[in-house]
Structure 1
Amino acid sequence: MRTTIVGELRILLPELDPDDLDTVSDPTDDLSEATIEDALWRGVTLDGVTVRGSRLVGVDVSESSWEGGSLLGCEITRADFSGTRLSGISIERCAVTGSQFTGIRLTDVRLKDVLFEGCRFDYASFTRVAAAGAVAFVDCLLTDATWSSCRLPNIVLRSCQLARLELDSCHLRGADLRGSGLYDLKTGLGNLHGVTLDEDQLPDLTHLAVQDLHLTVRKR
């Protein structure tokens, strides 16, 4: 295993040797120590499937349904999860790079030691998503997404685009939002209770406060 540090967050990630992995193309009930490359799983139904210690490269899982099961100790690169529904799954010790999650719906998903880097989550819906350990989004697009009743304390959102990201009844205490624009967030101040910002974000926070408190600002 290897570790990476984002902000003040240390994330435990897999370190896989492609020579030790078997090549697999079809989804099964248990995918362990496999390389899955350019597989077309669009529209499939995955019930209780576990993917462990594997590399997923260029896999198309768009418009699919995945309920139960887990992703454990995986490296995911240039995958397409657009329009997919993930429910009741666990994602742990995974590095996800350059992948597309446009319009994905995550419900009751548990995250632990997960790094999303250079990924698209525009129009994504997170419902009751919980972080049980270190989770970071770096250089990710989260525009027009919705997070509802999520418990994501201490996560890092670094250099992410958050325009029109809607937060509803979320717990983000300890989250590090430095380097991400807040101006167009759709949220009440309560969802930002206890987060960490930098000085450059204070004007954005003021704008959110004016909106949340329905203040009228007039020139003298």
Structure 2
Amino acid sequence: MDTRTIRRTSVTLPELDRQDLYLSHVTSLEGGRGRVAEFSFAGAELRDLDLADTHLLDGRVTRLKAQRTRLAKLRVDSVEFAGCDLSSPRWTDSRISRVVFRDCKLMGAAFEDVTLDNVLFENCKLDYSTFTRVRAAGPVIFVKCSLREVTFTAADLRAVLIDDCEVRLTEFDGGKRRGLDLRGNDLSQLRGLSSLKEIIIDRDQVPELAEALTTELKVTFGEDLQGG
């Protein structure tokens, strides 16, 4: 079983190259009876991608480009998304398991009431996205991703690792954080530090958190005041 491991966190990856699996090319992700299995969907350029009450199982989605994306009540198991460009996708009331997003642009994405379990985001652009009431039921790794101005609201991130990512103005608002691993990132411009109790960092990141806290509290230093 293929895995991706960073420090203490291991994500189980989809097994799409096993000998007993043949991926058939499909021209749509809308399958009969709401199920698409053992598939390859590649190179499509769509104005609208609307999927609801659909199960995607054992497949690859490659170089998909969509101007508008709405995904609701979707179940995704053992699927790889590679080189996709989805403009401001809205993903709600769904479960994503054993899934990889690699080299994808998901700018302005809105994940709401989504459960993640063994999910890897690698080298993806997620700037300006929101994760609202998202729950990491199993390990989730963000590695080499851009998470600028991403907001995590009321999210359960206890099984999440964020490594070597751009987290400028990334904000945390409520939720559960115990065990969230933020090692390997520059934390100096994080927001919502009061929500980051019991996270994991390295000792040399303490000054970065102090800088972020100083900014968040709008501290004025006495030596900067005229007249002392």
What TM-score, normalized to structure 2?
Answer: 0.90
Structure with greater proportional strand content: 2
Aligned to 1:122: 127
Aligned to 2:8: 8
The 1:61–1:70 alpha-carbon spacing in structure 2 relative to 1, beyond 3 Å, is: farther
Task: Verify the 8 A CA contact 2:137 2:159 in the aligned structure 1.
Answer: no
Q: Percent identity?
A: 30
Equivalent positions of 1:53-132 (< 5 A) are 53-132=58-137
Task: Verify the 8 A CA contact 1:43 1:64 in the aligned structure 2.
Answer: yes
**Alignment partners' CA distance in 2, 1:108 and 1:41:** 25
Q: 4+ residue runs of structure 1 moved beyond 2 angstroms? A: 208-220
Letter in 2 for 1:6: I
Aligned to 2:156: 151
Q: Is 2:202 the counterpart of 1:207?
A: no
Task: Verify the 8 A CA contact 1:106 1:126 in the aligned structure 2.
Answer: yes
The 1:51–1:61 alpha-carbon spacing in structure 2 relative to 1, beyond 3 Å, is: farther
Q: What 5-or-longer segments of structure 2 have no aligned partner? A: none
Letter in 2 for 1:167: F
**Alignment partners' CA distance in 2, 1:41 and 1:130:** 29
Shift in Å at residue 62 of structure 1?
4.0
Aligned to 2:222: 218
**Alignment partners' CA distance in 2, 1:133 and 1:62:** 31
Shift in Å at residue 173 of structure 1?
1.2
Q: What 5-or-longer segments of structure 1 have no aligned partner? A: none
Aligned-residue RMSD, C-alpha: 1.7
Shift in Å at residue 184 of structure 1?
1.3
**Alignment partners' CA distance in 2, 1:32 and 1:14:** 13
The number of residues matched between the two structures is 219
Q: Is 2:35 the counterpart of 1:30?
A: yes
- Structure exhibiting the larger radius of gyration computed from Cα positions: 2
Higher deviation after alignment, 38-47 or 85-94? 38-47
1:142-194 deviations in whole A, cap 9, x for unaligned? 0012111111113110000010112111322101111111111121x321111
Higher deviation after alignment, 25-34 or 120-129? 25-34
Counterpart of 1:44 in 2: which secondary structure?
strand
Shift in Å at residue 212 of structure 1?
4.6
**Alignment partners' CA distance in 2, 1:92 and 1:41:** 25
**Alignment partners' CA distance in 2, 1:93 and 1:61:** 23
**Alignment partners' CA distance in 2, 1:191 and 1:81:** 30
Shift in Å at residue 209 of structure 1?
2.8
Task: Verify the 8 A CA contact 2:172 2:196 in the aligned structure 1.
Answer: no
Letter in 2 for 1:5: T
What TM-score, normalized to structure 1?
Answer: 0.93
